[in-house]
């Protein structure tokens, strides 16, 4: 039996019916496998060659997600400078983009917003990376075409598009704590149409704590209490390409998750014995690109999302008796459960014109309608609904062969449609504007300077949440605002090197912050804060011959609350990723990653220590299609926390088998 037949037989053995895990994309994936409809830039029609380039952004490639074992979006974003990651008290993967959280730098998939309507957050640990071609990140200044609420930037997850008549990959991964990953990705491009499908499942029984963890009354060490999870995902995308300029894609994504929530290891902390029996999301979308003339292009996006998640609160760590108002004063409700049912629908219409010489003009209208319902198992306790709209204009101007100017403006509006028992406030508006000057001294070099005034309209939770009776609602909350200044460089300064460098400063006004004891024992969210974020980002990757590639990503971030002594949390001052990929022989890659982060404030009173973590991995190609990998994360078994009371995993082992065709 030859190698090719053997590898295909082994791959078929991994296809257990109905159970899959996120596949890892081929290391040699090309840009052509990126789903271009999912990007914000519309390419110029084929008869124009004005040389318009993308505006400045950073990205994580599918190759890096694969080789550095980044199986969810939280982990993948942690590879970039300017991004710090954490796990909050709800056991959700969170990010900070230059100090802005995911409410202020929202998440998009193929340009479509995916954040939860109620609070603007999304659990990024639930979003796997197996079907992604890239993650594109705009920091500070971001295109007005993203729509409203991009106060601190935008994060766009761009999916794959097949390029061959039949292609795909199958993967199997196992690891410590009962970790199991299985998945498949299949695609076909037939010229005038294409189809891309994937299915995956990730699950684990627990994660192991470091041997250096000191047991407490709440956590005895070894297996982290209540740390299991299971995530399933299926997606299907069908596209039509009737000619060289037009493309239309229909997509469906289904995510089903469930997870435990490890309790705080601090005996003095208020304990939450919580489990999430379901964390589900279902999405339908359409994206179309149509050339109206030789110079005008129309892009249409439409989507409908359904978010459903349930939370059960228990009386103690046995997780057998639901907590109610009768047996626990900290209960969620009279039944011990809280169930959210959220719907989001909307879309955008974007017109791009290349008719004027030296100009690429885009105008867009975007709409997003959010509805939130809560049910405690006895009666519906809350129904809230908002409509968000945005009118945006952008002009990318070629001033000369090496000089370009980008100008943009938008007006965002928030109209409350249903506030249940609360009086509906007036419609709110926020104006945004931005400009950037680009200078390309040579091919593959770009210097830039930008200034942007951005905003975020308050979420339903900001305005109406009572936090189990401990807060007063504030329907009249105003938008947050930020003014960003940035100088930077992106390019290839020498052979084999890719460099990004940025010096940035953000002035934030009307920051929404918790104000304590507005009434005795009750707090409120108010626009009282001013803050300043400033720092430096530097990242470099360097190929040293054909056998070695190395790089680093460094961030220095200084955040200051200019209005009060309240801490700005969850960001280290210094963060460094350092890595190397060494191929001593043609089919073998040895990969090492070091991550270091300074101490950070987790709350007004608690600070978590600095840490240094090392990951190692070996990848061997048995044949052209079949490869096997093995590695260890947190090699030194570092005992560390990203949030006070929530210890991270100690040393973990894993192995993967992947077949690509």
Looking at residue 421, its pLDDT comes to 60
List the 112-113 sheet strands across, edge first: 58-61, 132-139, 153-159, 107-109, 112-113
Looking at residue 52, its pLDDT comes to 45
The CA-based angle 142-571-508, given to 5 degrees, is 50
Looking at residue 378, its pLDDT comes to 55
Looking at residue 559, its pLDDT comes to 96
Q: What six digits make up the tokens of 600?
A: 């950070």
Cα–Cα distance measured from residue 234 to residue 20, given in angstroms and rounded to the nearest whole number: 9
pLDDT tens-digit map of 543-570: 999 999 999 999 999 999 999 888 899 9
Looking at residue 327, its pLDDT comes to 62
- Residue 220 vs residues 11, 216, 321, 636: alpha-carbon distances, Å: 41, 6, 22, 21
Looking at residue 27, its pLDDT comes to 37
Q: Would you say domain 3-660 falls under CATH 2.40.40.20?
A: no
| Local mean pLDDT, 10-residue blocks, the chain (661 residues) | 37 31 35 76 46 70 94 96 90 93 93 89 91 94 95 94 95 97 95 96 97 93 95 96 96 94 89 91 96 96 95 89 66 70 95 95 96 70 88 95 95 89 79 96 94 96 83 90 97 94 97 87 89 97 95 97 90 98 96 97 92 98 96 98 95 97 93
Enumerate the domain spans of the chain. Answer: 3-660
Element (H, E) at 95: strand 93-97
Q: What six digits make up the tokens of 274?
A: 């919580």
Cα–Cα distance measured from residue 384 to residue 370, given in angstroms and rounded to the nearest whole number: 8
Looking at residue 322, its pLDDT comes to 84
Looking at residue 11, its pLDDT comes to 36
Looking at residue 269, its pLDDT comes to 85
Q: Are 282 and 304 in contact (CB under 8 A)?
A: no
Looking at residue 116, its pLDDT comes to 86
Using CA atoms of 493, 360, 483, 430 in order, give the dihedral in degrees to the nearest 10. -160
Q: Are 491 and 502 in contact (CB under 8 A)?
A: no
Looking at residue 604, its pLDDT comes to 86
């Amino acid at each position: 039996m030859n190698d090719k037949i053997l590898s295909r037989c082994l791959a078929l053995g991994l296809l257990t019916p109905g159970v899959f895990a996120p596949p890892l994309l081929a290391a040699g994936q090309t840009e052509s496998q990126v789903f271009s409809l999912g990007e914000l830039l519309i390419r110029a029609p084929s008869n124009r060659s004005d040389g318009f380039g993308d505006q400045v952004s950073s990205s994580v490639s599918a190759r890096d997600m694969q080789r550095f074992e980044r199986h969810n979006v939280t982990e993948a974003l942690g590879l970039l400078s300017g991004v710090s990651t954490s796990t909050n008290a709800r056991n959700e993967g969170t990010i900070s983009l230059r100090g802005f959280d995911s409410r202020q730098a929202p998440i998009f998939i193929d340009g479509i917003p995916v954040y939860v309507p109620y609070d603007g957050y999304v659990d990024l640990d639930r979003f796997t990376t197996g079907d992604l071609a890239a993650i594109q990140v705009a920091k500070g200044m971001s295109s007005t075409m993203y729509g409203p609420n991009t106060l601190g930037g935008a994060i766009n997850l761009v999916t794959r598009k097949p390029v061959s008549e039949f292609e795909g990959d199958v993967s199997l991964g196992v690891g410590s704590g009962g970790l199991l990953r299985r998945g498949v990705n299949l695609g076909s491009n037939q010229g005038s149409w294409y189809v891309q499908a994937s299915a995956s499942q990730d699950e684990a029984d627990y994660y192991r704590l470091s041997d250096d963890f000191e047991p407490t009354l709440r956590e005895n060490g070894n297996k982290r209490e209540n740390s299991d999870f299971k995530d399933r995902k299926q997606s299907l995308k069908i596209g039509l390409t009737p000619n060289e300029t037009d493309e239309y894609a229909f997509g469906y994504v289904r995510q089903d998750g469930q997870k435990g929530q490890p309790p705080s290891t601090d005996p003095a902390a208020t304990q939450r014995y919580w489990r999430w029996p379901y964390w589900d999301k279902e999405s339908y979308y359409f994206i179309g690109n149509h050339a109206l003339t030789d110079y005008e292009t129309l892009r249409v996006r439409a989507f409908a999302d359904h978010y459903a998640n349930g939370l059960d609160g228990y009386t103690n760590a046995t997780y057998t008796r639901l907590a109610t108002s009768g047996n626990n004063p900290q209960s969620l409700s009279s039944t011990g459960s809280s169930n959210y049912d959220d719907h989001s629908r909307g879309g955008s219409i974007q017109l791009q014109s290349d008719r004027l010489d030296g100009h690429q003009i885009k105008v867009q209208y975007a709409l997003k309608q959010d509805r939130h319902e809560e049910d405690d198992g006895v009666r519906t306790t809350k129904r809230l609904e908002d409509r968000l709209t945005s009118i945006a204009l952008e002009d990318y101007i070629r001033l000369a062969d090496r000089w370009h100017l980008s100008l943009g403006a938008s007006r965002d509006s928030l109209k409350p449609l249903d506030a249940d028992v609360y009086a509906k406030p007036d419609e709110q508006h926020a104006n945004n504007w931005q400009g950037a000057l680009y200078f390309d001294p040579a091919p593959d070099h770009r210097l830039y300077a930008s200034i942007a005034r951005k905003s975020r309209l308050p979420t339903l939770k900001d305005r109406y949440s009572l936090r189990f009776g401990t807060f007063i609602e504030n329907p009249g909350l105003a938008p947050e605002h930020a003014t960003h200044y940035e100088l930077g460089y992106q390019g290839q300064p020498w052979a084999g090197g890719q460099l990004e460098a940025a010096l940035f400063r953000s002035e934030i006004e009307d920051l929404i912050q918790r104000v304590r004891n507005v009434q005795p024992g009750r707090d409120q969210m108010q626009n009282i804060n001013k803050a300043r974020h400033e720092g430096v980002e530097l990242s470099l990757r360097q190929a040293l011959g054909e056998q070695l590639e190395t790089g680093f990503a460094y961030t220095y971030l200084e955040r200051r609350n200019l209005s009060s002594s309240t801490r700005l949390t969850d960001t280290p001052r210094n963060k460094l990723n350092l890595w190397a990929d060494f191929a001593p022989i043609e089919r073998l890659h040895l990969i090492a990653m070091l991550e270091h982060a300074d101490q950070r404030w987790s709350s007004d009173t608690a600070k978590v220590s600095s840490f240094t973590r090392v990951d190692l991995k070996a990848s061997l190609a048995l044949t052209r299609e079949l490869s096997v990998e093995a590695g260890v994360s947190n090699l030194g078994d570092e005992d560390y926390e990203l949030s006070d009371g929530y210890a991270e995993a100690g040393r973990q082992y894993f192995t993967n088998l992947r077949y690509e065709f």
